[in-house]
Structure 1
Amino acid sequence: MDKDQPHRLSVAPMMDWTDRHCRAFHRQLSRRAQLWTEMVTAPAVIHGDRARLLGFDAAEHPVVLQLGGSDPAQLAQAARIGADMGYDAINLNCGCPSDRVQSGCFGAVLMESPNLVADCVAAMIAAQPRPVTVKCRIGVDDQIPEEVLPRFVETVAAAGVRHFVIHARKAWLQGLSPRENREIPPLDHGLVLAMKAAFPALEICLNGGLQRREQVPALLAAGLDGAMFGRAAYHDPCAVLLGADSALWGAPDPVTTPEEAAQAMRPYIARHLAAGGRLHQVTRHMLGLFHGRPGARAWRRLLSQAGGRPGAGLADYDAALAAVAQPRIAAQTPPPAPAEPARPAPVPARDRV
């Protein structure tokens, strides 16, 4: 196993969350973790505003572009565009269970069509030089995961894919919402481990149910090539990313405290504001920075209030950061020493009994 691989720890693609501002923030906590875009459909890449949909800063590397679609020609063209824009890898989404992706015949519904997926990834591989990867579920609806997942992986790998991220839950395309699909179907980490044992030459990463970076070494020791964190990385980023570079790659950590991360984001926020952006576009991704720490509630409240106000800027950001610092100062200030009890005045000798 290559210990330099960025996918040892990655942050999952999450719609409306993992935009370029979120990735810029996460990059302050870890220089090594692999970051992913939100899913972008192939037609949107081809016909849409590419600067808005695909633009990213060089500091975000290593970063993966996730595409949605099921038309090999469209996906090939979109993959080529992504490679030309500098993404490190191109991923095909075979795991999203939303109604929108089902109606478009992509996402988790592709688990039912491994041959089509193979055609898609073969076209993507032929069209450009970046690695093409697949993110999938263990199955959908009434499929038996132990039967369908090996066939799916084998078929897609035969088309040239060497890297799979497997969300260790079924997706129920009928009857469950996307949110319920992230929580209700039971996890089966054992099946993902079995896929690595069955396909040792492939890179297999586990997604689903992971909460803290400390879980990663055991997964790597069990043979997996990496772990992907979703909502945990967004809602409590320090639990996943802070200290990851030293723990998983033996590299220096860019910051060691959430306060340092907040300060490191100031220049980025200043540039964004100077370019006409709004504070909330960045800070909405940072509300969980102090999760579980004194002052976290004030941080969230002040940033949320400021974010919806026109003209909010660095002064509002600094005020929120100061509100975090005050409870810490109070917690670190030792209580005053208890006053010694007053000694009774001595009794004059003449009054002694």
Structure 2
Amino acid sequence: MSDRPQPTYAVVPSALDVPSERAFVERFTAFSHQLSRNLGSRYGSTHGKIMKATNLAKEAHDRHLRAAGVSRLVRDQQVQLARLARRGATLTGPCTLHAVDEWAAALHEASPWMSEVGTFLMRHMRRAVEKGRFGLSIPPILLVGPPGDGKTTYARLIAELSGTPFRQIDVGSGSAGFRITGLERGWSSAQSGVPVEMMLDRGVANPLLIVNEVDKAHGVRSTKGSVNDLETSLLQLLEPETASRFECPSLRVPFDLSRASWILTANDLQAVPDPLVDRCTVFRMPEVTPSVAGLMFDAIARNHEVIDQELLCQVRDMVIGASRTGSLSLRTIQRVLAGLEQLPGNVLH
């Protein structure tokens, strides 16, 4: 959304930037060669000294890994952490007030019926940029409404229109808590949580995490007896202070996850744990009235190669009429428009 270079943010300690073993060996052997040139025959056997320098380099590399607390990790993990410590993670999304306004306008054009949420996000983002907080930065929000009303679609739009990587975590899978915080080392299935994975794989400091159906959360007990529930996992990451010093249980390395943004969705607000509700700004999805149905239809139609305009107008009237029964959803409108493209015999107008 801007031509300026994307800013970076330190998400892991700089001490994790341990050069590779090869770099240590090259440095030590180069010093050994320099000594050989300066001292000549007094230096002794060049081959023997090179072997000694190589061994010393490997020992030094191991000491640095132990000091950084990553000696137990596999090489690929060490390399990822070193790269992240050296370069920092990218902050993606609007970095100027103009870019914020463009993003908010695009969001409103795509989902005009969500103007309440869009206005809230725009105001928050403008305040953040004015304070020098660059990139997508939104407080935790909870979208509440019946299935198929576009909660997840809107959350994805927030990320896509800002150019920010995002991931969805579905609570219905039963292991959402582990997916968020990760699983500690010593387990055969040990792995980092989704936020840490995104920082390591994508090099982004402020990903958007979409957690669907948090009202269906329940604790999951491992084969070793420990319990990991969604509420406990989320609470430590929704608070910037605790998120800034999160320790990955798999890597056992501290990460600053305070720049990650969270959008939760639920069908039933009463079933969402109170602590999660307290930490989120709650928005109820708008009822699909005839006027909202018309806005939804028009916005979605722009993304479809609907062919016959007369047919399109007729179907629009039918959709608006169906909304009066109270049984219409965004998902239904999407299916109707997708079906129109499949009709034979249409011609472009």
TM-score, normalisation: structure 1: 0.31
Larger Cα-atom Rg: 2
Greater helix percent: which structure?
2
More relative contact order, 1 or 2 (CA 8 Å, 6+ apart): 2
TM-score by length of 2: 0.32
